[in-house]
Structure 1
Amino acid sequence: MTEEQSYTTEEISKLLKISKLTVYDLIKKGDLVAYRVGKQMRIDATDLEAYKRRSKQLQLPGGQRPALSHPSGAVSVAETRESGNAAAAHLSDNSAPLSRPTSEASHVVPGDSPIAHAARHVVITGQDVSLDILMRHMEKQTRDIRPLRSFMGSLDGLISMYRGESDLVSTHLLDGDTGEYNLPYIRKILIGWSYVVVNLLSRPAGLYVGRGNPRGLQGWADLNQPDLRLANREKGSGARVLLDEQLRLHGIPSSRLVGYNMEETSHMGVAAKVSSGEADVGIGIEKAARLVGQVDFIPLTQERYDLVMLKKPGNEAWTDSVLRILQSSEFRQELQAFEGYDVSRTGEILYEI
Structure 2
Amino acid sequence: MKERSDKLVKEERSYTTEEIARLLRVSKLTVYDLINKGELPAYRVGRQNRIDSIDLENYIAKSKNKSINPKANISHPQRADAESSIQNNVIISGQDITLDLLANSIQAEGFKSLRDYNGSLNSLISMYNGKCTIVSCHLFDGDTKEYNLPFIKRILTGRSYIVMNLVSRSAGFYVKPGNPKNIQTWEDLSREEVTIINREKGSGARVLLDEQMRIRNISSKEVKGYDNEETNHFSVASAVAQGIADIGIGIEKASKMVGVDFIPLIKESYDIVIMKSEEKSGLIQSLLKILNSPEFKNKINTIEGYDISKTGSIIFETD
Please give the range of the TM-score, normalised by the shorter of the 2 chains.
0.7 to 0.9
The whole-number CA distance in structure 2 between the counterparts of 1:228 and 1:221 is 11
Change over 3 Å in CA distance of 1:194–1:286 after alignment to 2: same
Q: CA deviation at 1:220?
A: 1.2
Superposition map of 1:231-242 within 5 A: 231-242=197-208
The correspondence for 1:137, drawn from 86, 95, 105, is 105
State the partner residue of 2:58: none
The whole-number CA distance in structure 1 between the counterparts of 2:268 and 2:63 is 32
Using the size of structure 1 for normalisation, the TM-score is 0.66
The correspondence for 2:137, drawn from 141, 154, 171, is 171
Q: Which amino acid aligns with 2:251?
A: I
The correspondence for 1:336, drawn from 296, 301, 312, is 301
The correspondence for 1:103, drawn from 63, 86, 99, is 63
The whole-number CA distance in structure 2 between the counterparts of 1:244 and 1:104 is 43
Show structure 1 runs of 5+ residues with no match. Answer: 1-36, 42-101, 108-118
Change over 3 Å in CA distance of 1:40–1:259 after alignment to 2: same
The correspondence for 1:128, drawn from 96, 99, 103, is 96
Q: CA deviation at 1:350?
A: 0.7
Q: CA deviation at 1:103?
A: 3.4
Q: Which amino acid aligns with 2:64?
A: E
Mapped contact 2:190–2:224 kept (Cα < 8 A):
no
State the partner residue of 1:20: none
Mapped contact 1:38–1:103 kept (Cα < 8 A):
no
Q: CA deviation at 1:38?
A: 5.8
> Secondary structure of the residue that 1:103 maps to in structure 2?
helix
> Secondary structure of the residue that 2:172 maps to in structure 1?
strand
The whole-number CA distance in structure 2 between the counterparts of 1:312 and 1:189 is 18
- Residue identity (%): 50
Mapped contact 2:140–2:147 kept (Cα < 8 A):
yes
Superposition map of 1:80-99 within 5 A: none
Q: CA deviation at 1:227?
A: 3.5
> Secondary structure of the residue that 2:257 maps to in structure 1?
helix
Q: Which amino acid aligns with 2:24?
A: K
Mapped contact 2:192–2:224 kept (Cα < 8 A):
no
Q: Which amino acid aligns with 1:132?
A: D
State the partner residue of 1:325: 290
> Secondary structure of the residue that 1:309 maps to in structure 2?
strand
> Secondary structure of the residue that 1:170 maps to in structure 2?
strand
Q: Which amino acid aligns with 1:305?
A: Y
State the partner residue of 2:179: 213
> Secondary structure of the residue that 1:208 maps to in structure 2?
strand
1:305 aligns with 2:290: no
> Secondary structure of the residue that 2:187 maps to in structure 1?
helix
Larger helix proportion, structure 1 or 2? 2
State the Cα deviation string for residues 204-226 of structure 1 (Å, max 9, x = none): 00000111111101111211211
State the partner residue of 2:190: 224
Larger relative contact order, structure 1 or 2 (CA cutoff 8 Å, min sep 6): 2
State the partner residue of 1:94: none
Superposition map of 1:185-334 within 5 A: 185-293=151-259, 295-334=260-299
The whole-number CA distance in structure 2 between the counterparts of 1:230 and 1:343 is 31
Q: Which amino acid aligns with 1:296?
A: D
Superposition map of 1:37-76 within 5 A: 39-40=24-25
Show structure 2 runs of 5+ residues with no match. Answer: 1-21, 27-61, 69-86
The whole-number CA distance in structure 1 between the counterparts of 2:25 and 2:266 is 35
> Secondary structure of the residue that 2:192 maps to in structure 1?
coil
What is the RMSD of the two structures over their aligned residues, measured on CA atoms? Answer: 1.9
State the partner residue of 1:12: none
Q: CA deviation at 1:163?
A: 0.3
The whole-number CA distance in structure 2 between the counterparts of 1:237 and 1:321 is 27
The whole-number CA distance in structure 1 between the counterparts of 2:132 and 2:229 is 24
Mapped contact 1:227–1:256 kept (Cα < 8 A):
no
Change over 3 Å in CA distance of 1:281–1:40 after alignment to 2: closer
Q: How many residues align?
A: 243
Q: Which one has a bigger Cα radius of gyration?
A: 1
State the partner residue of 2:32: none
The whole-number CA distance in structure 1 between the counterparts of 2:266 and 2:147 is 11
